[in-house]
Amino acid sequence: MSAASSPSHPTTPPATEPALRLMPMPADLNSAGDVFGGWVMAMVDIAGALPAIRRARSHVVTMAVNSFVFRQPISVGDIVSFHADVVAVGKSSITVDVHVFAERHPADPVVVKVTEARMTYVAVDRAGCKRMVGPESTLPPGGERPPLDKELVLRVVPMPADLNPSGDVFGGWIMSMVDIAGAVPAIRVARSKVATVAVDSFVFRQPVSMGDIVSFHAEVVRVGRTSITVDVEVYAQRHPENPVVVKVTEARLTYVAVDEFRAKRTIGEG
């Protein structure tokens, strides 16, 4: 394996897109009221696997957690970004550094580093046997291109628990993620909590499969006195051996800004 340098320690998010971006929910809390460390570890493992999968152009399995440091707790409502970079490639192994940042306090937004880790993965074939890592591909994924005028607000990988009886990802899971994705820019504009008041349109264009990397891109299209309307487009990257990106969903949602008593509030007021 080519030697990996000591893990870097950036204190601000890199300019590159995150491997994952999520918003933890109350079910992810521990008994102290912070996000459970196991949830963070699981997401770091998934985030690190994504560039490893792209580099291997095959499935990978986690072989080692080389280092893992929790720097600050994560709270419900934080927008958590997982940035991952391949730092070493061996005959069959790939080492990845993952840096995790949380955006919090919508009324006065701040981004803090919460976790950093180094993970090693091994490339495997469809039978689960170790395989050689081939030469790196310089070709971008085929298929459609996500919109440049919309922000990448969430990027997630659905798991087996998210499947419907037909084996595709449950439409309700996609709808819930779209609702969260649309809320992210709405919260930034409102500088407060928001509540969903309308799903103005929602179109499923293609099914989503387990293992797809699902990206949610959102843009505010209208701001009223108390309401914010957001367009969300959803893309799935699939087939790691020959990656392709397809548009799977598009939607328009309307949110209302609310105060600490959950009463409607005027946008722009303190």
Q: What is the dihedral of CA 260, 264, 266, 269, to 10 degrees?
A: -10
Residue 260 is classified by DSSP as: T
- Confirm if 231 and 150 have CB atoms less than 8 A apart: yes
* CATH fourth-level superfamily of 20-124: Hotdog Thioesterase (3.10.129.10)
pLDDT band at 235 (very low <50, low <70, confident <90, very high): very high
SS3 (DSSP) at 45: helix
Residue 116: the pLDDT is 97
As annotated, the active-site residues are: 30, 179
What architecture does CATH give domain 142-258? Roll (3.10)
Q: What is the pTM of this model?
A: 0.91
Residue 6: the pLDDT is 63
Residue 270: the pLDDT is 62
**Domain coordinates in residue numbering, the chain:** 20-124, 142-258
Residue 240: the pLDDT is 76
Residue given tokens 């990656």 in the structure block: 243
Residue 4: the pLDDT is 64
pLDDT tens for residues 20-74? 999 999 999 999 999 999 999 999 999 999 999 999 988 999 999 999 999 999 9
The stretch 81-109 carries a mean pLDDT of 94
Could you tell me the CA-to-CA distances from 140 to 136, 154, 237, 238, 240 in Å, in that order? 11, 21, 11, 13, 12
Displacement of CA 37 from its chain's centroid (Å): 17
Question: Hey, do 20-124 and 142-258 end up sharing a CATH topology, with the first three levels equal?
Answer: yes
Residue 5: the pLDDT is 63
pLDDT tens for residues 114-142? 999 999 999 999 899 999 998 887 777 88
**pLDDT over 80 (residue 1):** no
Q: What is the dihedral of CA 159, 194, 36, 93, to 10 degrees?
A: 40
